Structure 1
Amino acid sequence: MAESGERLLSQQELARLSQPPRADLVEALAGSPEAAVDTFRRIDRAYRNFIDGFGAWIAQTQRFVTDRYGADGLATIGSSDDAYRSTLLHGLTDEDVTGRHQPDRADHIAGLIESGDHEAALAAFDDLAASYHRIHDVERDRVASVLSQVYRAWGPDVLEESIRFAGEQTLLGWMPHDVARPAEVRVRQWAGMQKGNFADITVTETDDAFVITVHLCGTCGRQVSDGCYGDTLDLAVVAEDHPLTFGRGPAPIYRTHVSVMHFWVPMERTGVPWPVIQCPKGMDAGPCRITLYKDPAATPPEAYEFATGSG
């Protein structure tokens, strides 16, 4: 574990963590083909992992509703109207759909890198990233639509239970592994995850923590800025002063998972958040801040007083 005050990354390393994925690839292309392919595969994996995570979240929410309310309950959250509207909003193409599960798209780019055709590799990467972006946004909206239907059918308490259930089956299973890793490894992983979420980030280091400032979150932040909580998609806004909103509603439906998956359940298990995520207030679009304490167990209470209401 890092000593308090010990700096772990140079300014150059922090700048590299903050740059967009395309810049990562351009930088890697100046080195060996093997290293450039490894960098591309890492970027590709980050995009796909985020998209796959949306699908897992939807599946576990459907499982929760089926277990609780049976087939009739599942039918209650089965509307596809928002998904259709999201597809139109984000311009999803047939090529996006057919290519989503075709590994040869990424293999083709890896081949171009290995052959030294960097111009073609970057052009193909741009096309692939744009396709992932459209798929990401539609899948993200599908999650928010399912959560909206749960909330509108059964209220905030059941929504909280559903998020807790889904989190325990998915993301929260990774928590023990994550907090046990060195801080410099964690920040690289979390920065890569945010890049896979199509977010612009800046990574800084303090004596005790790494701070990832997300200038516009790729999920609820862009949903808000894209008008998904208005006439465009009419996703739900949780208005109640409820634990889902840290007692300070309203909040976009997607954002409510932060309180459950990153505060309430981790604090029940470890005594501290995982990690400290400060989202914008109300229906603001951003920015947000992720603070990764170098010693997670030593996360100071004042860092999350905004969540507990004690500050």
Structure 2
Amino acid sequence: MGEAGERLLSTEELAKLSQPPRADLVEALADGPETAVEVFRRIDRAYRNFIDGFGAWIATTQRFVADRYGIEGLAQVVSADDAYRSALLHGLTYEDVAGRHQTDRADAIVHLIADSDPEAALAAFDALEASYRRIHDVERDRVASVLSQVYRAWGPDVLEESIRFSGEETLLGWMPHDVARPAEVRVRQWAAMQKGNFADITVTETDDAFTITLHPCGTCGRQVSDGCYGENLDLAVVAEDHPLTFGQGPAPIYRTHVAVMHFVVPMERTGVPWPVIQCPKGLDAEPCRVVLFKDPEATPPEAYGFATS
């Protein structure tokens, strides 16, 4: 783990972390097929991991509801209406759905790279990335729809419990491994994750921390911009001054997981957030920031109040 006050990455390395996945692939293609295949597989995995993560979140939320409220309760959170509207909003295609769980498209790109046909490989990558983005956005909206249904049926306290349950079943299991890694390893992983979330990012470094600025983030930030909290989808807005909103409601329903999964539960377990995530206030789609302190245990208390900016 890097010591606070020690710069760990060069300006060039930070710029490379900040560039979009396509630029990563273009650079790798110039280095030869072996490097390009490795980089492409990493990009492809990041996109698929995020999409699969949405599915796990939906499943664990439905399990929470079924355990708590039975079949009658579960029936209140399985409406597909929002998913249909989201698919129309984002232009989901038959080819997207048919190829979602197949590796054929990615394997075809690997063959093009191996055949030293970079132009065809990039064209195929552009098509695959666009397809992943449509699938990602529909799955993201499905998560927010299920959370909306929980909130509207049972209120903010039950919503918080459901997010806690899902976090403990999924993302939070990774926390002990993540915080034990060197800071320069963590920032590379978190930057790759945000790219897999279709965020445009800029990575900077200070003596004590790395900051990944998302402008906007790929989830609630783009949902707000796409009108998902208005007439397009009518996803829920949590109005209460509640821990879900850092006591500063209103907040988009998707954003409420930040309070639970990255502040409430991590601080119960370790005394510090994991990591500090600074979200915009209200229904703004302004940039947000992921702050990774080089020594997580030394996260300063004043950072805890930076949950909303």
TM-score range, shorter chain: over 0.9
Q: Structure 1 residues 306, 213: CA separation in 2 closer, same or farther (over 3 Å shift)?
A: closer
Please name the residue that 1:33 is paired with: 33
Task: Find the counterpart in structure 2 of residue 21 from structure 1.
Answer: 21
- The residue number in structure 1 matching 2:43 is 43
**Count of aligned pairs between the two proteins:** 309
Partner AA of 2:22 in structure 1: R
* Paired residue type of 1:133: R
Normalising by structure 2, we get a TM-score of: 0.99
The corresponding residue for 2:87 is 87
Instruction: Give the distance between the partners of 1:72 and 1:38, measured in 2 at CA.
Output: 47
Q: Who is 1:164 aligned against? A: 164
Separation in 1 of the partners of 2:251 and 2:5? 36
- Structural mapping, 1:273-284, within 5 Å: 273-284=273-284
**Equivalence for 1:290:** 290
Q: Which residue of 2 aligns with 1:232?
A: 232
| TM superposition outliers: structure 1 runs of 4+ over 3 Å | none
Aligned to 1:109: 109
Matches of residues 68-79 of structure 1 in structure 2 within 5 Å?
68-79=68-79
Using the TM superposition, give the Cα deviation of residue 306 of structure 1 relative to its aligned residue in structure 2, in angstroms. 3.7
Contact 2:277 2:306 in 1 (8 A): no
Equivalence for 1:253: 253
* Structure 1: runs of 5 or more not aligned: none
State the Cα distance separating 1:47 from its structure 2 match.
0.2
The equivalent of 1:121 in structure 2 is 121
In 1, the alpha carbon distance for the partners of 2:8 and 2:241 equals 40
- 1:2-56 CA deviation, whole Å, 9 max, x = no partner? 1221111000000000000000000000102111100000000000000000000
Post-superposition CA distance 1:170-202 (Å, at most 9, x none): 000000000000000000000000000000000
Percent same amino acid among aligned pairs?
Answer: 84
Which structure 2 residue ranges, 5 or more long, are not aligned?
none
Task: For residues 109-151 of structure 1, give each alpha carbon's deviation from its aligned partner in whole angstroms, at most 9, with x where no partner exists.
Answer: 0110011000000000000000000000000000000000000
| Structure 1 match to 2:197 | 197
- In structure 2, how many angstroms separate the alpha carbons of the residues matched to 1:98 and 1:268? 43
Letter in 2 for 1:287: P
Distance 2:258 2:200 in 1: 19
Deviation at 1:307, TM superposition (A): 4.6
Residue in 2 that maps onto 1:138: 138
Distance 1:153 1:16 in 2: 45
Partner of 2:291, secondary structure, is: strand
Q: Distance in 1 between matches of 2:307 and 2:286?
A: 17
In structure 1, C-alpha distance between the alignment counterparts of 2:174 and 2:168, rounded to whole Å: 9
Deviation at 1:305, TM superposition (A): 2.2
Amino acid at match of 1:228: C
Q: Partners in 2 of 1:80 and 1:102 — Cα distance?
A: 23
State the distance in 1 between where 2:277 and 2:23 align: 26
Give the distance between the partners of 1:194 and 1:127, measured in 2 at CA.
Answer: 20
User: Whole-Å Cα distance in 2 between the matches of residues 76 and 33 of structure 1?
Assistant: 50
Tell me the SS of whatever aligns to 1:211: strand
The residue type equivalent to 2:176 in the other structure is: P
- The alignment's TM-score, normalised by the length of structure 1, stands at 0.98
CA offset digits 1:48-97 (Å, max 9, x no partner): 00000000000000000000000000001111110000000000000000
